[in-house]
Amino acid sequence: MKRTCLGGSNVSRYICTLYGYSALRIASYLPKDALFITVDSNQESAQIASEIFKQAGISDRVHSVVGSSQTVIPQIKDQHPISSFDFIFIDHSGENYLRDFKLLEYHNLITSGTMIVADNILYPGSPDYADYIRNNPNYSSKMYEASVEWPVGVKIKDGVEVSVRN
């Protein structure tokens, strides 16, 4: 990942934490000077995730923020040493992907080269986000097919949308 933020750190952002499984997988590949911000509105989940990040030895590069994405995004530049993100992972509720994505754009947190990965694009799905990103000349976007892991044994088609700002 390229360096884009103030203070010389690589910066990623992650909506949302739950118990931090994806955050743990992603952040463990980041260099020590990276900053990875995770956001979740559920305080209890965020506390459990923070404990897991500590146990995994990555709490130096992961900041866990408790709050609704709609409130956190506009304040993020004031509270963290960043100008924009290299990487954004979106995995909260499909009906809010587009709203939050537009907030990220509005606050200039997405710049040329930013990669955005949106999970569960087909199931439960986020059709308005998929439509927006695929038909926007500012982004190159592709869906990678996957199937959901639950309910166990039931094959439901899903996808991960990977987009890069031109």
Ligand X SMILES: C[S@@+](CC[C@H](N)C(=O)[O-])C[C@H]1O[C@@H](n2cnc3c(N)ncnc32)[C@H](O)[C@@H]1O
Chain residues binding ligand X by CB under 6 A are 16, 18-19, 21-22, 39-42, 45, 68-69, 91-93, 96
Q: How far is the CB of 8 from ligand X (least distance, A)?
A: 27
> How many beta carbons lie within 10 A of that of residue 85, not counting itself?
27
b/e per residue 69-83 (b: at least 16 CB within 10 A) = beebbeebbeebebe
Nearer to ligand X, 42 or 59 (CB): 42
Residue 78 or 149: the one with the smaller Cβ distance to ligand X is 149
Q: Which helix (H) or strand (E) holds 141?
A: strand 139-147
Residue with Cβ nearer ligand X (10 or 96): 96
- How is residue 94 written in tokens? 């499909």
What's the Cα-to-Cα distance from 123 to each of 84, 99, 127, 131, 157, rounded to whole Å?
29, 18, 10, 15, 7
- Quote the least distance from Cβ 99 to ligand X, whole Å: 9
**Closest residue to ligand X, based on beta-carbon distance:** 16
For residue 166, the minimal CB distance to ligand X (Å) is 27
Nearest approach in angstroms of CB 75 to ligand X is: 13
Q: Which is nearer to ligand X, 1 or 18 (CB)?
A: 18
Alpha-carbon torsion, ordered 125, 127, 129, 130, to 10 deg: 100
Of 40 and 158, CB closest to ligand X: 40
Least Å distance between CB 91 and ligand X?
A: 4
C-alpha pair distances (Å), 77 with each of 40, 72, 74, 125: 17, 10, 7, 29
